Amino acid sequence: MTDSASDRAARLAHLRREGLEKGDPVPLPLTLAAMFHLPGDPAGVSQYGRFANPTWDGVEKLLGHLEDATAVAFPSGMAAISAVLFSLLRTGERVLLPSDGYYTVRVLAERFLVPMGIGFDTRPTAGFLEDGFDGYRLVFLETPANPGLDLCDIAAVAKKARAAGALVIADNTTMTPYGQRPLDLGVDAVVAADTKAPNGHSDTLFGHVTSRNETIVAAVRDWRKLAGGIPGPFEAWLVHRGLETLEVRFERMCNSAELIATRLRDHPRVRALRYPGLKDDPGHALAVRQMQRFGFLIGLTLGSADEAEAFIDRCALIQPATSFGGVHTSAERRARWGDAVDAGFVRLSIGCEPTEELWNAIASALEG
């Protein structure tokens, strides 16, 4: 973890202190409110539960602190992505999406953007810079891409796409604000699913948009308020609690993933391995340049679909589940959803279990 990340993590735990009056609760209160006391002139205060909520403010303060930006909270990662696409795009404009990123974004574009006259193209993350960005109003990148873990050069994409007149949006879900800082690398906005590591306990869906561009912040806030897809206060409270321990969890997860990836690479049962932290990974040189850590996701390919399923089922310390980033290690065979990966490809999300115990369980499940 870099010094600035440690500094941000240290201050995060004390951010609330600034505004406290004597006798106030130290932890963030959960405020469930549709109505607010509102006599006379309604300006300048919370007016109605679809417009504002103090618990949203609490979680947005932490997210904004982590990314040095303004954060807007959403009820899921897809709600955050939808807010960006639907508030910033107009009929006749064109979007570029990764062909190997989170697949729901492509389905959303096909199902809802195209009928509104907003076209889209897709391109593999590893070759995202090829063919330039002429003609795009919005370029959406995801690195490392979920699930294949290919990378693209965020600073180079941001520079070239912005020069071509596009807004550049980065999905930072796989890395979290502690692992990668796309806004520092020049993108216009970050979107992320806090459902994953930021909440970290697999009990809540949540998302956010962060930006240093006030026009973008105002657009997504208006979208949330007017379209009405707002986060629940209790979910916001849970994510606030999760963010307070994200740095500790993320450190353990990344440290374990680095060690386990090295051992998996040398394991005779593993046909192929993707982890940006491995020196021979195609994304390694770029990962060293643009990521603070190498993340907690590992892509491993076993001999067949059956072998992959048996490995996941057999391992006592792996939850067979979709989604990732929880305190418990989880895994799934992504081809079961139709992702363009090998039938034996397993996306392994390393959790917070003690490292050697986790490795022993993985190694014995590989032995069969």
Ligand X SMILES: *Cc1c(COP(=O)(O)O)cnc(C)c1O
User: What residues make contact with ligand X under the rule CB under 6 A?
Assistant: 76-78, 102, 142, 146, 171, 173-174, 193, 195-196, 205, 207
Phi, psi of 159 (to 5 degrees): -65, -50
> What span, in angstroms and rounded, lies between the C-alpha atoms of 239 and 201?
9
d(CA 274, CA 294): 11
Residues 6+ apart with CB under 8 A from 134: 164
**Tokens (6 digits) for 162:** 């912005």
Least separation in angstroms between residue 19's CB and ligand X is 29
CA atoms within 13 A on the CB side of 315: 30
Q: Which residue lies nearer to ligand X by CB, 102 or 275?
A: 102
**Contact yes or no for 242/59 (Cβ under 8 A):** no
98 versus 270: smaller Cβ distance to ligand X: 98
Question: Based on CB atoms, which residue is closest to ligand X, 20 or 107?
Answer: 107
- Shortest Cβ 85–ligand X spacing (Å): 12
Least gap, CB of 235 to ligand X (angstroms): 11
Q: Which two tokens stand for residue 122?
A: 């897709």
CB of 140 to ligand X, least distance (A): 10
Report, in Å, the least distance between residue 292 CB and ligand X: 18
CA-CA distances (angstroms) from residue 228 to 51, 63, 223, 232? 9, 21, 8, 11
73 DSSP β-pair partners = 208
| DSSP character string of 140-158 | EEESSPTTT-----HHHHH
Q: Tokens 């809540």 belong to which residue?
A: 204
For ligand X, the closer CB: 97 or 318:
97
Give the nearer residue to ligand X in terms of CB position, either 79 or 366. 79
Residues 129, 157: contact at Cβ < 8 Å? yes
Assess contact for 117 and 91: CB atoms under 8 A.
yes
Residue 136 or 206 having the CB closest to ligand X: 206
Which of 173/176 has CB closer to ligand X? 173
Strands of 105-166, DSSP E: 119-123, 138-142
Q: Give the shortest CB-13-to-ligand X separation in angstroms.
A: 25
Query: Any idea which residue has 């692992």 for tokens?
Result: 179
* Nearest distance in Å: CB 178, ligand X: 16
Q: Which is nearer to ligand X, 108 or 361 (CB)?
A: 108
Compute the least distance from the CB of residue 344 to ligand X, in Å: 21
Looking at residue 48, the DSSP 8-state letter turns out to be: B
